[in-house]
Structure 1
Protein backbone atom coordinates (compact mmCIF):
# COMPACT_ATOMS: atom_id res chain seq x y z
CA UNK A 1 0.00 0.00 0.00
CA UNK A 2 1.48 3.40 -0.96
CA UNK A 3 2.38 5.91 1.73
CA UNK A 4 0.49 8.67 -0.09
CA UNK A 5 -2.80 8.22 -1.86
CA UNK A 6 -2.73 10.42 -4.94
CA UNK A 7 -5.74 11.90 -6.71
CA UNK A 8 -6.28 12.26 -10.46
CA UNK A 9 -3.84 15.19 -10.48
CA UNK A 10 -1.14 13.04 -8.83
CA UNK A 11 -1.41 15.03 -5.60
CA UNK A 12 -2.12 13.95 -2.00
CA UNK A 13 -4.40 16.99 -1.54
CA UNK A 14 -7.28 18.38 -3.65
CA UNK A 15 -5.37 20.88 -5.82
CA UNK A 16 -1.91 22.36 -6.32
CA UNK A 17 -0.80 24.67 -3.50
CA UNK A 18 2.35 26.00 -5.18
CA UNK A 19 0.50 28.42 -7.51
CA UNK A 20 -1.60 29.79 -4.65
CA UNK A 21 1.45 30.63 -2.55
CA UNK A 22 3.38 31.88 -5.59
CA UNK A 23 0.64 34.29 -6.60
CA UNK A 24 0.65 35.68 -3.05
CA UNK A 25 4.42 36.25 -3.29
CA UNK A 26 4.15 37.77 -6.78
CA UNK A 27 1.47 40.19 -5.58
CA UNK A 28 3.55 41.28 -2.62
CA UNK A 29 6.69 41.79 -4.72
CA UNK A 30 4.76 43.77 -7.35
CA UNK A 31 3.16 45.93 -4.63
CA UNK A 32 6.52 46.53 -2.96
CA UNK A 33 8.04 47.58 -6.28
CA UNK A 34 5.10 49.85 -7.10
CA UNK A 35 5.29 51.46 -3.63
CA UNK A 36 9.05 52.05 -3.92
CA UNK A 37 8.76 53.62 -7.39
CA UNK A 38 5.73 55.69 -6.43
CA UNK A 39 7.30 56.70 -3.11
CA UNK A 40 10.51 57.72 -4.86
CA UNK A 41 8.71 59.78 -7.51
CA UNK A 42 6.19 61.37 -5.14
CA UNK A 43 8.57 61.65 -2.16
CA UNK A 44 5.92 59.92 -0.06
CA UNK A 45 8.10 58.05 2.44
CA UNK A 46 5.11 56.21 3.94
CA UNK A 47 5.05 54.05 0.81
CA UNK A 48 8.60 52.89 1.63
CA UNK A 49 7.25 51.36 4.82
CA UNK A 50 4.56 49.49 2.87
CA UNK A 51 7.21 48.27 0.46
CA UNK A 52 9.49 47.11 3.27
CA UNK A 53 6.86 44.98 4.99
CA UNK A 54 5.70 43.48 1.70
CA UNK A 55 9.28 42.45 0.94
CA UNK A 56 9.70 40.92 4.41
CA UNK A 57 6.54 38.82 4.14
CA UNK A 58 7.32 37.87 0.53
CA UNK A 59 10.82 36.76 1.57
CA UNK A 60 9.32 34.34 4.08
CA UNK A 61 6.48 33.14 1.85
CA UNK A 62 8.72 32.51 -1.16
CA UNK A 63 10.35 29.58 0.64
CA UNK A 64 6.97 27.95 1.18
CA UNK A 65 6.32 28.45 -2.53
CA UNK A 66 9.63 26.79 -3.40
CA UNK A 67 9.08 23.90 -0.98
CA UNK A 68 5.61 23.17 -2.37
CA UNK A 69 6.93 23.66 -5.89
CA UNK A 70 9.66 21.07 -5.33
CA UNK A 71 7.21 18.63 -3.72
CA UNK A 72 4.64 19.02 -6.48
CA UNK A 73 7.30 18.85 -9.22
CA UNK A 74 8.51 15.56 -7.76
CA UNK A 75 4.97 14.17 -7.93
CA UNK A 76 4.34 15.51 -11.44
CA UNK A 77 6.27 12.80 -13.29
CA UNK A 78 7.18 15.23 -16.08
CA UNK A 79 7.49 13.78 -19.54
CA UNK A 80 10.61 14.53 -21.65
CA UNK A 81 9.16 17.56 -23.50
CA UNK A 82 8.18 19.24 -20.21
CA UNK A 83 11.36 18.48 -18.27
CA UNK A 84 13.61 21.31 -19.61
CA UNK A 85 11.00 23.99 -18.89
CA UNK A 86 10.32 22.55 -15.43
CA UNK A 87 14.08 22.50 -14.73
CA UNK A 88 14.48 26.11 -15.86
CA UNK A 89 11.44 27.12 -13.77
CA UNK A 90 12.97 25.37 -10.74
CA UNK A 91 16.41 26.96 -11.13
CA UNK A 92 14.89 30.39 -11.68
CA UNK A 93 12.64 29.90 -8.65
CA UNK A 94 15.54 29.08 -6.35
CA UNK A 95 17.52 32.01 -7.79
CA UNK A 96 14.58 34.37 -7.31
CA UNK A 97 14.26 33.26 -3.70
CA UNK A 98 17.88 34.12 -3.01
CA UNK A 99 17.68 37.43 -4.89
CA UNK A 100 14.46 38.39 -3.10
CA UNK A 101 15.97 37.70 0.31
CA UNK A 102 19.17 39.56 -0.60
CA UNK A 103 17.19 42.59 -1.83
CA UNK A 104 15.07 42.50 1.32
CA UNK A 105 18.21 42.48 3.46
CA UNK A 106 19.63 45.37 1.44
CA UNK A 107 16.31 47.18 1.76
CA UNK A 108 16.49 46.65 5.53
CA UNK A 109 19.94 48.25 5.67
CA UNK A 110 18.67 51.17 3.58
CA UNK A 111 15.68 51.51 5.91
CA UNK A 112 17.89 51.63 9.01
CA UNK A 113 20.23 54.23 7.48
CA UNK A 114 17.50 56.54 6.18
CA UNK A 115 13.85 55.40 6.19
CA UNK A 116 12.86 58.43 4.09
CA UNK A 117 14.93 57.59 0.99
CA UNK A 118 15.52 54.73 -1.42
CA UNK A 119 18.57 54.94 -3.70
CA UNK A 120 18.22 54.71 -7.47
CA UNK A 121 20.65 51.77 -7.50
CA UNK A 122 18.27 49.78 -5.32
CA UNK A 123 15.37 50.65 -7.63
CA UNK A 124 17.46 49.36 -10.55
CA UNK A 125 18.09 46.09 -8.74
CA UNK A 126 14.38 45.87 -7.89
CA UNK A 127 13.61 46.40 -11.59
CA UNK A 128 15.88 43.47 -12.43
CA UNK A 129 13.99 41.40 -9.83
CA UNK A 130 10.71 42.35 -11.48
CA UNK A 131 12.04 41.22 -14.88
CA UNK A 132 13.04 37.85 -13.39
CA UNK A 133 9.63 37.54 -11.74
CA UNK A 134 7.98 38.14 -15.12
CA UNK A 135 10.20 35.44 -16.67
CA UNK A 136 9.19 33.09 -13.86
CA UNK A 137 5.51 33.84 -14.45
CA UNK A 138 6.01 32.95 -18.12
CA UNK A 139 7.80 29.69 -17.26
CA UNK A 140 5.14 28.74 -14.73
CA UNK A 141 2.47 29.41 -17.33
CA UNK A 142 4.24 27.06 -19.73
CA UNK A 143 4.46 24.33 -17.09
CA UNK A 144 0.75 24.61 -16.36
CA UNK A 145 -0.98 25.73 -19.55
CA UNK A 146 1.25 24.25 -22.25
CA UNK A 147 2.63 21.08 -20.64
CA UNK A 148 -0.31 20.52 -18.28
CA UNK A 149 1.59 19.09 -15.34
CA UNK A 150 -0.82 18.15 -12.56
CA UNK A 151 -3.83 18.30 -14.85
CA UNK A 152 -5.99 15.19 -14.85
CA UNK A 153 -5.75 14.48 -18.63
CA UNK A 154 -1.93 14.69 -18.65
CA UNK A 155 -1.60 12.58 -15.49
CA UNK A 156 -3.92 9.99 -17.05
CA UNK A 157 -1.95 10.01 -20.33
CA UNK A 158 1.31 9.46 -18.43
CA UNK A 159 -0.19 6.59 -16.38
CA UNK A 160 -1.57 4.96 -19.52
CA UNK A 161 1.78 5.26 -21.28
CA UNK A 162 0.51 7.66 -23.96
CA UNK A 163 3.14 10.19 -22.87
CA UNK A 164 6.59 8.69 -22.23
Structure 2
Protein backbone atom coordinates (compact mmCIF):
# COMPACT_ATOMS: atom_id res chain seq x y z
CA UNK A 1 0.00 0.00 0.00
CA UNK A 2 1.31 3.41 -0.98
CA UNK A 3 1.41 5.85 1.94
CA UNK A 4 0.32 9.38 1.19
CA UNK A 5 2.61 12.04 2.68
CA UNK A 6 0.48 14.83 4.14
CA UNK A 7 1.74 18.22 5.22
CA UNK A 8 0.82 20.21 8.34
CA UNK A 9 -2.53 21.10 6.74
CA UNK A 10 -3.39 17.46 6.07
CA UNK A 11 -2.83 17.76 2.31
CA UNK A 12 -0.40 16.21 -0.20
CA UNK A 13 0.21 19.68 -1.70
CA UNK A 14 1.06 23.03 -0.04
CA UNK A 15 -2.39 24.66 0.28
CA UNK A 16 -6.03 23.74 -0.37
CA UNK A 17 -6.81 24.08 -4.09
CA UNK A 18 -10.60 23.86 -3.73
CA UNK A 19 -11.03 27.42 -2.38
CA UNK A 20 -8.90 28.87 -5.17
CA UNK A 21 -10.99 27.27 -7.89
CA UNK A 22 -14.28 27.84 -6.12
CA UNK A 23 -13.63 31.57 -5.71
CA UNK A 24 -13.06 31.71 -9.46
CA UNK A 25 -16.41 29.96 -10.02
CA UNK A 26 -18.19 32.33 -7.64
CA UNK A 27 -16.78 35.33 -9.50
CA UNK A 28 -17.76 33.89 -12.89
CA UNK A 29 -21.35 33.15 -11.83
CA UNK A 30 -21.84 36.52 -10.13
CA UNK A 31 -20.29 38.45 -13.03
CA UNK A 32 -22.39 36.48 -15.50
CA UNK A 33 -25.53 37.45 -13.57
CA UNK A 34 -24.41 41.09 -13.43
CA UNK A 35 -23.81 41.15 -17.20
CA UNK A 36 -27.19 39.49 -17.84
CA UNK A 37 -28.99 42.15 -15.79
CA UNK A 38 -27.12 45.01 -17.45
CA UNK A 39 -27.57 43.44 -20.91
CA UNK A 40 -31.27 42.83 -20.31
CA UNK A 41 -32.00 46.41 -19.29
CA UNK A 42 -29.58 48.15 -21.69
CA UNK A 43 -30.37 45.78 -24.57
CA UNK A 44 -26.62 45.67 -25.25
CA UNK A 45 -25.88 42.26 -26.75
CA UNK A 46 -22.20 42.55 -25.79
CA UNK A 47 -23.11 42.15 -22.11
CA UNK A 48 -25.16 39.06 -22.96
CA UNK A 49 -22.19 37.59 -24.82
CA UNK A 50 -19.84 38.26 -21.90
CA UNK A 51 -22.40 36.70 -19.59
CA UNK A 52 -22.61 33.53 -21.67
CA UNK A 53 -18.84 33.02 -21.74
CA UNK A 54 -18.52 33.64 -18.02
CA UNK A 55 -21.21 31.05 -17.32
CA UNK A 56 -19.60 28.62 -19.78
CA UNK A 57 -16.17 28.85 -18.12
CA UNK A 58 -17.80 28.75 -14.68
CA UNK A 59 -19.62 25.53 -15.64
CA UNK A 60 -16.30 23.87 -16.47
CA UNK A 61 -14.53 25.23 -13.41
CA UNK A 62 -17.27 24.19 -10.97
CA UNK A 63 -16.56 20.54 -11.69
CA UNK A 64 -12.86 21.07 -10.97
CA UNK A 65 -13.91 22.74 -7.71
CA UNK A 66 -16.11 19.74 -6.88
CA UNK A 67 -13.32 17.25 -7.63
CA UNK A 68 -10.81 19.07 -5.43
CA UNK A 69 -13.50 19.63 -2.80
CA UNK A 70 -14.21 15.90 -2.65
CA UNK A 71 -10.49 15.09 -2.48
CA UNK A 72 -9.80 17.63 0.25
CA UNK A 73 -12.92 16.67 2.23
CA UNK A 74 -11.77 13.06 2.09
CA UNK A 75 -8.37 14.03 3.49
CA UNK A 76 -9.84 16.24 6.24
CA UNK A 77 -10.11 14.92 9.75
CA UNK A 78 -13.71 15.84 10.26
CA UNK A 79 -15.00 15.80 13.80
CA UNK A 80 -18.68 15.16 14.58
CA UNK A 81 -19.70 18.82 15.00
CA UNK A 82 -18.49 19.67 11.48
CA UNK A 83 -19.94 16.61 9.72
CA UNK A 84 -23.50 17.91 9.07
CA UNK A 85 -22.18 21.15 7.57
CA UNK A 86 -19.68 19.25 5.41
CA UNK A 87 -22.40 16.86 4.23
CA UNK A 88 -24.76 19.72 3.31
CA UNK A 89 -21.91 21.59 1.59
CA UNK A 90 -21.08 18.46 -0.43
CA UNK A 91 -24.69 17.89 -1.53
CA UNK A 92 -25.05 21.59 -2.38
CA UNK A 93 -21.81 21.49 -4.37
CA UNK A 94 -22.95 18.61 -6.56
CA UNK A 95 -26.39 20.21 -6.91
CA UNK A 96 -24.86 23.53 -7.93
CA UNK A 97 -22.68 21.71 -10.46
CA UNK A 98 -25.80 20.29 -12.10
CA UNK A 99 -27.64 23.61 -11.77
CA UNK A 100 -24.81 25.61 -13.38
CA UNK A 101 -24.43 23.04 -16.17
CA UNK A 102 -28.18 23.21 -16.82
CA UNK A 103 -28.20 27.00 -16.77
CA UNK A 104 -25.26 27.05 -19.19
CA UNK A 105 -27.06 24.69 -21.56
CA UNK A 106 -30.21 26.82 -21.36
CA UNK A 107 -28.14 29.95 -21.95
CA UNK A 108 -26.51 28.28 -24.98
CA UNK A 109 -29.95 27.59 -26.49
CA UNK A 110 -31.09 31.16 -25.80
CA UNK A 111 -27.89 32.53 -27.33
CA UNK A 112 -28.37 30.49 -30.51
CA UNK A 113 -32.10 31.15 -30.96
CA UNK A 114 -32.40 34.79 -29.83
CA UNK A 115 -28.95 36.35 -29.34
CA UNK A 116 -30.43 39.83 -28.91
CA UNK A 117 -32.88 38.93 -26.11
CA UNK A 118 -32.88 37.29 -22.73
CA UNK A 119 -36.17 35.95 -21.31
CA UNK A 120 -37.19 37.24 -17.88
CA UNK A 121 -37.63 33.61 -16.74
CA UNK A 122 -33.90 33.06 -17.23
CA UNK A 123 -33.12 36.08 -15.04
CA UNK A 124 -35.48 34.73 -12.39
CA UNK A 125 -33.79 31.34 -12.32
CA UNK A 126 -30.37 33.02 -12.40
CA UNK A 127 -31.43 34.99 -9.30
CA UNK A 128 -32.19 31.70 -7.55
CA UNK A 129 -28.76 30.42 -8.63
CA UNK A 130 -27.05 33.47 -7.13
CA UNK A 131 -28.94 32.92 -3.85
CA UNK A 132 -27.87 29.27 -3.76
CA UNK A 133 -24.26 30.30 -4.41
CA UNK A 134 -24.50 32.69 -1.43
CA UNK A 135 -25.71 29.77 0.72
CA UNK A 136 -22.83 27.61 -0.49
CA UNK A 137 -20.35 30.39 0.28
CA UNK A 138 -21.75 30.56 3.81
CA UNK A 139 -21.34 26.80 4.27
CA UNK A 140 -17.79 26.79 2.92
CA UNK A 141 -16.85 29.76 5.08
CA UNK A 142 -18.27 28.00 8.12
CA UNK A 143 -16.20 24.88 7.39
CA UNK A 144 -13.03 26.94 7.25
CA UNK A 145 -13.55 29.73 9.79
CA UNK A 146 -15.66 27.91 12.38
CA UNK A 147 -14.59 24.28 12.07
CA UNK A 148 -11.06 24.88 10.77
CA UNK A 149 -10.86 22.18 8.11
CA UNK A 150 -7.32 22.11 6.71
CA UNK A 151 -6.23 24.86 9.11
CA UNK A 152 -2.83 23.95 10.53
CA UNK A 153 -3.53 24.31 14.29
CA UNK A 154 -6.75 22.29 13.98
CA UNK A 155 -5.04 19.59 11.88
CA UNK A 156 -2.19 19.35 14.41
CA UNK A 157 -4.65 19.10 17.31
CA UNK A 158 -6.51 16.28 15.56
CA UNK A 159 -3.36 14.14 15.33
CA UNK A 160 -3.64 10.78 17.11
CA UNK A 161 -2.82 11.08 20.79
CA UNK A 162 -3.44 14.83 20.94
CA UNK A 163 -7.19 15.23 20.57
CA UNK A 164 -9.48 14.31 23.46
- TM > 0.5: yes
Shift of 1:157: 1.3
**Where in structure 1 are there 5+ consecutive unaligned residues?**
none
Identify which range, 153-162 or 135-144, moves more after superposition. 153-162
Hey, what does 2:99 align to over in structure 1?
Answer: 99
Q: Distance in 1 between matches of 2:67 and 2:79?
A: 21
Q: Which whole-Å deviations, capped at 9, do the CAs of 1:100-150 have from their partners, x for residues lacking one?
A: 000000000001111010000000000000000000000000000000000
Please say if 1:80 is aligned against 2:80.
yes
1:18 touches 1:68 (CA, 8 Å); kept in 2?
A: yes
Matches within 5 A, 1:6-45: 6-45=6-45
Q: Distance in 2 between matches of 1:130 and 1:42?
A: 21
Q: Distance in 2 between matches of 1:18 and 1:34?
A: 24
Matches within 5 A, 1:47-66: 47-66=47-66
Shift of 1:86: 0.5
User: Secondary structure of 1:159's match?
Assistant: coil
Q: Which whole-Å deviations, capped at 9, do the CAs of 1:35-69 have from their partners, x for residues lacking one?
A: 00011111111100000000110001100000000
User: Secondary structure of 1:148's match?
Assistant: coil
Q: Distance in 2 between matches of 1:29 and 1:132?
A: 11
Question: Over aligned residues, Cα RMSD in angstroms?
Answer: 1.2
Hey, what does 2:122 align to over in structure 1?
Answer: 122
Q: Distance in 1 between matches of 2:75 and 2:2?
A: 13
Shift of 1:160: 4.0
Shift of 1:89: 0.4
Shift of 1:156: 1.2
The runs of at least 4 aligned residues of structure 1 exceeding 6 Å deviation read none
Q: Distance in 2 between matches of 1:25 and 1:110?
A: 22
Give the TM-score of the pair, scaled to structure 1: 0.97
Q: Distance in 2 between matches of 1:163 and 1:57?
A: 42
Shift of 1:162: 5.0
Q: Distance in 2 between matches of 1:157 and 1:104?
A: 43
Shift of 1:2: 4.9
Shift of 1:3: 2.5
1:79 touches 1:163 (CA, 8 Å); kept in 2?
A: no
In the comparison of the two structures, how many residue pairs are matched?
A: 164
